[in-house]
């Protein structure tokens, strides 16, 4: 397994190439082997029609957290693609910031299962607002699909 | 069931309040009873790290298409919230535009199942790139949750 | 692609080895390239606590229909394993017989997406009662995992 | 919340009415508020074609464990129905016994999210072989749908 500084820089560089994360205003806050946290400040530009954070924005940061948790356990040069995810939305995503905490459940040779818990933080209090499970596929030797 | 012009204006008004759709650059292209199409031009600001459209952006328009397909069959004043969705990503979302076509599978009193097929369009040719199934919940009498 | 009689005999032989299908009383009724139907008579030995067919029994025939639809498009000798499925249960599975109709949505090199519609048949009338989407993985060269 | 002996007897009685659980050979091993364990001995009559336990049998005990975990937190007289579940299958279900451990993630007024971890036990060693998330709906006042 690559050392932690190598993992950290690889994932930060890849996250920086995700145009959508910058567009949403999401920040990569924590990287550890098999675990990645992403934060999204609540704002009007990521809302749905009732003013909550859109399920698609919640899913986007939860999927990225799951994907990078999976990538953190793969060898350098491998790429990761999501093949499927399911998200259960437990309560409206609102408050000050939405935190997605992804972690690997099982890393396989080809497929990895990861899970992301998503919390809505309001005045410092965290509330579980969504749960995602995702299958990530390891890609090797395909041009343009690394990290 | 409300008449088609009523459905159309209700959904266009609600879509206009989804800050995320404007942020992504998504457009509401077609509204019919039980069916809604949303288009998303491929662009760098919705990308993941390899240059494809981010799974979260694909999921966002697919979820909105499913949700509005469900809302189109609900009485005026009812609100719709997604309780869960699963998306299978079949091939990289790339090309010129991504089209999400949502339709109701079964409309129940409380819960509606909808499905969205997502196509990547390149030089006029469509390719199925994702499939979403979503459960939508009808909300009535909750302040701020209408349409 | 193998000819239809070859597909038919390969899948019937494999189905015959599924102890669970015999235990449930399920029958393989139709095999075509990319499409498989399985029928399950409603009976007390497959029930849940209210007398409906148990969601697990519905899922079992829906998963087998999806898996064999996928296998029908794979080369002889390949084996198929389900990596994930989601099922939405739309109405209680009751009546005379439950019919699962599986079909391939997209056949890939490693992963295939299949969908199964499940109908409850009562006095000859069919009602959609469940919808499953499944990812099937093609396995080659692993001892004991063929067909 | 009902006291533990009341929960225990209510769930044991309901489990006893699930014809499918008896057919599979599944046993209700542990009931606590929000947590239920079900065991399934590995046997030929619940197999798929390669001799592993069929994904449908794994899903059946995982769904029952999730459903009873949810029911354990509902008032007496309420009934529970699964509206959807997703299961990820991580490794072949084989060995001596399959253990499904269900627990409530969030209990809501109408919908409850539960998760079941499934372990394959071989010579006393446990290995995570599947993960299920399920949405359970609370039903009240419908004839025949209690517990």
User: DSSP letters along A32-58, please?
Assistant: ETTEEEEEEE--GGGB-TTSSBPHHHH
> Burial, D51: exposed, middle or buried (Cβ in 10 Å; 0-12, 13-18, 19+)?
middle
Calculate how close chain D gets to C33, using CA atoms only, in Å: 20
- pLDDT value of residue C1: 58
- DSSP-derived secondary structure for C17-74: H-HHHHHHT-EEEEEETTEEEEEEE--GGGB-TTSSBPHHHHHHHHHHHHHHHHHTTS
3-state secondary structure (DSSP) of residue B72? coil
- Check: CB of residue A113 under 8 Å from CB of residue A134: yes
What integer is the mean pLDDT of B68-90? Answer: 96
Q: Which among C108, C113, C131 is the nearest to B113, CB-wise?
A: C131
What pLDDT, in 10s, does the model give residues C68-107?
Answer: 999 999 998 899 999 999 999 999 999 999 999 999 999 9
Report the 10 Å Cβ neighbour count for A94: 16
- pLDDT value of residue B144: 81
- pLDDT value of residue C145: 82
Contact C17 D47 (CB under 8 A): yes
What integer is the mean pLDDT of C9-19? Answer: 97
- DSSP-derived secondary structure for A103-124: EEEEE-SSEEEEEEEEEEEETT
Residues of chain B in contact with residue C88, where contact means CB-CB under 8 angstroms, are 105, 113, 133, 135
Contact A46 B19 (CB under 8 A): yes
Q: Which among B88, B90, B133 is the nearest to C88, CB-wise?
A: B133
- Check: CB of residue C19 under 8 Å from CB of residue C28: no
- Closest chain B CA to residue C136: B88
Say how many CB pairs under 8 Å bridge B and D: 12
- pLDDT value of residue A2: 63
* CA neighbor of C116 nearest in space, from C135, C92, C132: C132
Contact D88 A133 (CB under 8 A): yes
Distance, in Å, from the CA atom of D34 to the CA atom of D15, rounded to the nearest integer, reads: 16
Q: Judge whether residue C128 has pLDDT over 90.
A: yes
Calculate how close chain A gets to D31, using CA atoms only, in Å: 24
Q: Judge whether residue B3 has pLDDT over 90.
A: no
What pLDDT, in 10s, does the model give residues B15-71?
Answer: 999 999 999 999 999 999 999 999 999 999 999 999 999 999 999 999 999 999 999
Distance, in Å, from the CA atom of C37 to the CA atom of B60, rounded to the nearest integer, reads: 33
Q: Judge whether residue A52 has pLDDT over 90.
A: yes
Distance, in Å, from the CA atom of C27 to the CA atom of D41, rounded to the nearest integer, reads: 24
Distance, in Å, from the CA atom of A136 to the CA atom of B6, rounded to the nearest integer, reads: 42
* CA neighbor of D101 nearest in space, from D145, D126, D65: D65
- Check: CB of residue A96 under 8 Å from CB of residue A127: no
Residues of chain C in contact with residue D49, where contact means CB-CB under 8 angstroms, are 14-15, 17-18, 147
- Check: CB of residue D82 under 8 Å from CB of residue D108: no
Contact A19 B54 (CB under 8 A): yes
- Provide φ and ψ at A56, rounded to 5°: -70, -35
Q: How high is the mean pLDDT of chain A? A: 95
Left if phi > 0, otherwise alpha if psi is -120 to 50, otherwise beta: which for C120? beta
Query: Chains that contact C by 3+ CB pairs under 8 Å?
Result: A, B, D
> Burial, D123: exposed, middle or buried (Cβ in 10 Å; 0-12, 13-18, 19+)?
exposed
Residue D60 neighbours by CB under 8 Å, 6+ apart: C54, C55, C56, C57, C59, C60, D20, D21, D24, D26
Calculate how close chain B gets to D111, using CA atoms only, in Å: 9
Sorting pLDDT into bands at 50, 70 and 90, what band is C2? Answer: low
Q: Which segments of chain D have a pLDDT < 50?
A: none
- Check: CB of residue C114 under 8 Å from CB of residue C134: yes
- pLDDT value of residue B142: 83
Q: Judge whether residue B1 has pLDDT over 70.
A: no
Distance, in Å, from the CA atom of A88 to the CA atom of D80, rounded to the nearest integer, reads: 18
Q: Judge whether residue B99 has pLDDT over 90.
A: yes
Distance, in Å, from the CA atom of C120 to the CA atom of A17, rounded to the nearest integer, reads: 49
- Provide φ and ψ at C42, rounded to 5°: -70, 130
Residues of chain B in contact with residue A130, where contact means CB-CB under 8 angstroms, are none
Residues of chain D in contact with residue C82, where contact means CB-CB under 8 angstroms, are 55, 89
What integer is the mean pLDDT of A23-45? Answer: 98
Residues of chain A in contact with residue D108, where contact means CB-CB under 8 angstroms, are 90
Q: In what order do the strands lie in the sheet with A97-107?
A: A27-32, A35-41, A97-107, A111-122, A125-139, A79-89, B79-89, B125-139, B111-122, B97-107, B35-41, B27-32
Calculate how close chain B gets to C8, using CA atoms only, in Å: 27
Contact B19 A85 (CB under 8 A): no
Q: Judge whether residue A1 has pLDDT over 70.
A: no
Distances (CA, A) of A86 to A15, B85, B86, C72, D132: 22, 6, 4, 27, 11
The strand ranges marked E within D91-139 are: 97-107, 111-122, 125-139
Residues of chain B in contact with residue A86, where contact means CB-CB under 8 angstroms, are 84-87
Longest dimension (CA), chain B: 46
Q: Which among D86, D111, D137 is the nearest to B86, CB-wise?
A: D86
Q: Judge whether residue C142 has pLDDT over 90.
A: no
- Check: CB of residue A145 under 8 Å from CB of residue A79: yes
Query: Picking from B123-132, C121-130, D3-12, which range would have the lowest pLDDT averaged per residue?
Result: D3-12
**What fold is seen in the domain A4-139?**
Thiol Ester Dehydrase; Chain A (3.10.129)
Give the pairing type, strands C125-139 and C79-89: antiparallel
Residues of chain D in contact with residue C68, where contact means CB-CB under 8 angstroms, are none
Contact A135 D86 (CB under 8 A): no
């Amino acid at each position: 397994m690559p050392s932690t500084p190598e993992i950290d820089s690889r994932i930060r560089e890849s996250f920086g190439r995700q145009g959508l994360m910058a567009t949403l205003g999401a920040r990569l806050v924590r990287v550890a082997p098999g675990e990645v946290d992403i934060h999204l400040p609540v704002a009007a530009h990521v809302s749905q029609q009732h003013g909550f954070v859109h399920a698609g924005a919640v899913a986007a940061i939860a999927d990225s957290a799951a994907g990078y948790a999976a990538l953190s356990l793969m060898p350098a040069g491998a790429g990761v693609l999501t093949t499927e995810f399911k998200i259960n939305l437990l309560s409206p995503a609102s408050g000050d910031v939405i935190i997605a905490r992804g972690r690997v459940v099982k890393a396989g040779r080809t497929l990895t299962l990861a899970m992301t818990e998503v919390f809505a933080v309001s005045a410092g209090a965290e509330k579980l607002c969504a749960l995602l499970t995702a299958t990530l596929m390891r890609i090797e030797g395909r041009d343009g699909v690394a990290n």
